[in-house]
A and B are shown apart, each in its own frame.
Chain A
Amino acid sequence: MLIKKPDPIKSSEITDRAVWQDRRRLIKAAAAAGVGLVAERAGALASRPGQGQAISGVVDTDYGRGLALTDFQDATSYNNFYEFGTAKSDPARHAHSLQTRPWTVRVDGECDKPGEIGIEDILKDFTQEERIYRFRCVEAWAMTVPWVGFPLGDLLKRFQPNSRANFVAFETLFDPQQMPGQQRGVLDWPYREGLRMDEAMHPLTLLATGLYGEVLPNQNGAPLRLVVPLKYGFKSIKSIVGIRFVRDIPETTWWKLAPREYGFYANVNPQVDHPRWSQKRHRVLGAGLFAAKQPTQLFNGYAEQVAGLYRGMDLSRFY
């Protein structure tokens, strides 16, 4: 069943497997010895499922250490990615048509050095970190994913945003051939998202290139996606091809489609219900038929890090 394809990534970028696994074993052993509470599946670096290319030089971090991870299989087979269909299982089935190499991201707008950057350079120029983040969908389900990526701010700084850059707008690839879901007008394509400048520059805000130590599977938004763990999942736009610094609040896909249901901020908040369902609790993927829902936390549990961003804001009005 395995079809040999030419490697999309230069082999020099791939860490030798033995070195990689050895390092993991060491870290795992250290973690097990040091911290008795670390769950079995949550070693220092997530173990690789071996489904995709490894990303080289991934640096371990403390983000989310000790959280129980969602199974790789679950995290990669239950996705909202309407570009490949509206059922949760559609992306995993249809996203193989997406070509992620070559891939360039255009960065422009209110900045001094607009330009383009390729995915190879992104992987080379920015130190890739593993960060375990909670991920909470607006539909009241959640998972915990060991992402690989780097702070969005690091990339943005390179293009030197000017003083008029109040917001950052993002755009997903538009190509109905590669993304057959776009042949139907379910959403106003291309998918668009946005962040306030201070949110975009916040150290928690991640540009992800991988998960579980490997390049992103297509269905999870390959080759480059946003991950903003304090916000509902739809803010974490996938397969990004455009980033623009703008003065005014950008129009974003779900907000524009149903402004009463999806706000621009979309911060996880158990006190502010979606008009059609409660946001107080969420279902954890992979927890099984009989598991109770878990209580949802303000800013998805990242309140300490980000509350400063929203001080004095009425969160029920700016939802």
Chain B
Amino acid sequence: MIDKMRRLTIWWLVFLGGLLPLAGIVHGGLYGDLGPNPVEAVLHGTGDWALRLLLLTLAMRPLQRLTGRPGWLRWRRMLGLYSFFYATLHGLTWAWLDQQWDLSGMLVDVVKRPYITVGFTALALLLPLAATSTRAAMRRLGRRWQRLHRLVYPIAVLAVLHFVWLVKADWEEPAIYGGVLGVMLVLRIPTVMLVLRRVLGLERPILARRAGDSP
């Protein structure tokens, strides 16, 4: 009972936490706090959070392996959907506030500007993942669900590339995101995880005790 209450509380905290960036942007819009170039501010805010939440989603598997607690995996759905949510807002901000629904101009940009091409592809690939995020879809797709959802890796690479290609001279920020993505990917290598667990003292020396060695 208490466990269930606790779980529900955490669920609500994470859920509301995911809405905070949006609340910040809306508040800024209402109070004119978004600076001299509010369209850019919204575009950057939504893009940043789409990428951050995507990387956070990718952090759940390593956390589960590191701690041995399967509970982490539960958050992947909500975090992934939030990433999709902000990516969609980001795309809509671009189409509406930035491009004013100038369809031919948008098409030219998607085809001609590599950073837009890449961002657009990432968003398009997120779509089937979001659409199949329900339990029903998981059951229906069975093994194919897993294969489909491995798309999250190329999506994350594309999102970082999108950021790298839109920067003018200061690559520090995209480099940090790229570094975090690199860590998330490397932590999926079983040997790396094993070594890390040893180093952190998380690997219980069961084998050693069984062999009867002195502690």
A residues whose Cβ falls under 8 Å from a Cβ of B:
70-71, 73-75, 77-78, 82, 86, 88-89, 139, 141, 143, 184, 186-187, 257-258, 276-278, 283, 285-286, 288-290, 292-293
Which residues on the B side are within 8 Å of A88 (C-beta)? Answer: 35, 37
Looking at B34, B40, B168, the one whose CB has the most chain A CB atoms below 10 A away is B168
Min C-beta distance of A232 to chain B, whole Å: 12
Which residues on the B side are within 8 Å of A285 (C-beta)? Answer: 36-37
Min C-beta distance of B121 to chain A, whole Å: 16
The CA of A304 and the CA of B128, in the complex, are separated in Å by 54
The CA of A88 and the CA of B168, in the complex, are separated in Å by 13
Looking at B29, B109, B169, the one whose CB has the most chain A CB atoms below 10 A away is B169
Which residues on the B side are within 8 Å of A258 (C-beta)? Answer: 169
Contact: B113 with A276, CB < 8 Å?
A: yes
Min C-beta distance of A43 to chain B, whole Å: 22
Interface flags, B106-146, vs A, CB<8A=1, else 0: 00110001110000000000000000000000000000000
Q: Residues of B within 8 Å of A, CB-based: how many?
A: 24
Given contacts A78-B35, A78-B36, contact A276 B170 (CB under 8 A): no
B residues whose Cβ falls under 8 Å from a Cβ of A:
29, 34-40, 42, 97-98, 100, 105, 108-109, 113-115, 165-166, 168-170, 172
Q: Which of B39, B108, B114, B166 contacts A289 (CB 8 A)?
A: B39
Residue of B nearest to A70 (CB): B36
The CA of A89 and the CA of B98, in the complex, are separated in Å by 21
The CA of A139 and the CA of B169, in the complex, are separated in Å by 12
Contact: A186 with B169, CB < 8 Å?
A: yes
Which residues on the A side are within 8 Å of B36 (C-beta)? Answer: 70-71, 73-75, 77-78, 143, 285-286
Q: Could you give 30 example pairs across A and B, Cβ below 8 Å? A: A71-B36, A74-B35, A75-B36, A77-B35, A77-B36, A78-B36, A86-B169, A86-B172, A88-B35, A88-B37, A89-B35, A139-B168, A143-B36, A187-B169, A258-B169, A276-B113, A276-B114, A276-B115, A276-B165, A277-B109, A277-B113, A278-B105, A278-B108, A286-B36, A289-B29, A289-B34, A289-B42, A289-B97, A292-B100, A293-B100
